Amino acid sequence: MNKNYEKIEMTNGKILKTLEGLKDWKMIDIPEDIPHGDMPGDKIEIGDTHKAKAAVIFPRLVEELKAVVKNNPYERAVITVCGGSGVGKSEIASLLSYMLTQAGIKSYTLSGDNYPHRIPKYNDAERLHLYREGGIRKMVEDKVFTLERFDFVKSLQEKDDDANAAYVKENPWFESYIKGGREALSNYLGTPNETDFAEVENILNAFKDGAKDIWLKRMGRDECALWYEDVDFSDTQVLIIEWTHGNSDYYKGVDVPVLLNSTPAETLAHRQSRNRDGKTDSAFTTTVLEIEQEKLKSQAHKARIILSKNGEILSFDEYQKLMND
């Protein structure tokens, strides 16, 4: 990204004073329709549970922001709201952004889902292709591949059931396919192979360096729905990223990672209720959610705020105990 952008003026402690003087945040009224993330066509449904969770996070977030803005000459900060698919990232990020803006700290909500290298249907196809290629390759490596067994695997693929580990019980060799597919998928999900983390990091650097406006990517769900928009950040102090991979090790610049905890079963149930992508009850989707959960767990130690599904703030030790039980 070109660094010759125009910068805002330094705020000379104005934002810190606003944060330090923030006392009556509980009086912030949340209307039915509030601004949300910048993913084209994304629909969010904010309920009382989301509001309750945002109310728990908000005072802790304000305290975290006080320390962050002291160390940025433009008093800007980057927050990420991360967690498994369907855990409420979009809703809670939108609520936190709205609450901060209403309190005098203007915020912008950016969706990390705008930054894969492929539009959703092609990305889904790439995930499935890599899983199946990895599975077959592993069968060959383990010397369990035969044309007869491939016919069995192909029959499962045609039913979209080839990620179902239940078939291992009667076909022990099928474990090679499951392991190989899962490993190939893990090497793709949430990595630079799938997502342009470098572009996201450039955005964060520009924002924290005082840029007045930044070109942001927009990605819809078809081939023609990909463009850029010049967004005015001249009076924005906080950038909130809502994204499964918001706490990833593949990019830098996040000041306050917020982790919304959930289990694969919980996120799958939510995705089914939203019917977001179709076929949400497939064994393959379950595998994707499990891998996402493993990666979230490995990154959780970096989170500044961890919230349980029940809406309670967790220490990292409490989080580990909960996830290990």
- Select the more confidently predicted residue: 313 or 271: 313
| pLDDT of 23 | 79
Taking each helix axis as running N to C, give the angle between helix 174-186 and helix 283-299, from 0 to 180 degrees, rounded to the nearest 10: 50
Q: Confirm whether 1 is domain-assigned.
A: no
- What mean pLDDT do residues 2-30 have? 85
| 177-226 pLDDT per residue, tens | 999 999 999 999 999 999 999 999 999 999 999 999 999 999 988 889 89
Is 70 exceeded by the pLDDT of residue 52? yes
Is 70 exceeded by the pLDDT of residue 281? no
Does residue 143 share a domain with residue 55? no
| pLDDT of 131 | 98
Q: Confirm whether 3 is domain-assigned.
A: no
Final residue belonging to a domain, choices 136, 166, 186: 186
Does residue 145 share a domain with residue 253? no
Does residue 205 share a domain with residue 304? yes
Cα separation of 259 and 311, whole Å? Answer: 12
- Select the more confidently predicted residue: 86 or 285: 285
Is 70 exceeded by the pLDDT of residue 277? no
- What mean pLDDT do residues 290-295 have? 93
Final residue belonging to a domain, choices 186, 205, 228: 186
Q: Confirm whether 82 is domain-assigned.
A: yes
Indicate the residue type of 3: K
What tokens does 270 get?
């939510």
| 87-106 pLDDT per residue, tens | 899 999 999 999 999 999 99
**Number of structural domains, the chain?**
2
| pLDDT of 324 | 83
What tokens does 93 get?
């990020």
Here the CATH number for the domain that contains residue 234 is 3.40.50.300
Does residue 107 share a domain with residue 145? no
Range of the domain at 125: 120-186
Q: Confirm whether 102 is domain-assigned.
A: yes
Does residue 170 share a domain with residue 42? no
Q: Confirm whether 60 is domain-assigned.
A: yes
Final residue belonging to a domain, choices 137, 155, 186: 186
Does residue 292 share a domain with residue 210? yes
Is 90 exceeded by the pLDDT of residue 235? yes
Q: Are the C-beta atoms of 232 and 219 separated by less than 8 Å?
A: no
Q: Confirm whether 44 is domain-assigned.
A: yes
pLDDT band with cut points at 50, 70 and 90 for residue 37: confident
| pLDDT of 246 | 97
| pLDDT of 30 | 87
| pLDDT of 275 | 56
Please name the residue ranges forming H helices in 171-307. Answer: 174-186, 197-208, 264-274, 283-299
| pLDDT of 270 | 64
Q: Residue 204: how many CA atoms within 13 Å on its side-chain side?
A: 20
Does residue 231 share a domain with residue 153? no
| pLDDT of 12 | 87
Cα separation of 94 and 102, whole Å? Answer: 12
Cα separation of 175 and 166, whole Å? Answer: 10
Q: What is the DSSP letter of 277?
A: S
Does residue 257 share a domain with residue 167? no
Q: Which residues contact 298 (CB under 8 A, 6 or more apart)?
A: none
What's this model's pTM, rounded to 2 decimal places? 0.92
| pLDDT of 81 | 98
| 65-82 pLDDT per residue, tens | 999 999 999 999 999 999
Does residue 315 share a domain with residue 218? yes
Does residue 182 share a domain with residue 126? yes
Cα separation of 82 and 290, whole Å? Answer: 15
Lowest-confidence region among 160-169, 236-245, 257-266, 291-300: 257-266
Is 70 exceeded by the pLDDT of residue 232? yes
Q: Where are the beta strands (DSSP E) in the chain?
A: 77-83, 107-111, 213-219, 226-232, 238-242, 256-260, 305-307, 313-314
Does residue 242 share a domain with residue 273? yes
- Name the residue among 242, 227, 309 with its Cα closest to residue 40: 227
| pLDDT of 265 | 62
Across the chain, mean pLDDT equals 92
Beta-carbon count within 10 A of 154 CB:
13
Cα separation of 188 and 192, whole Å? Answer: 8
Q: Are the C-beta atoms of 79 and 239 separated by less than 8 Å?
A: yes
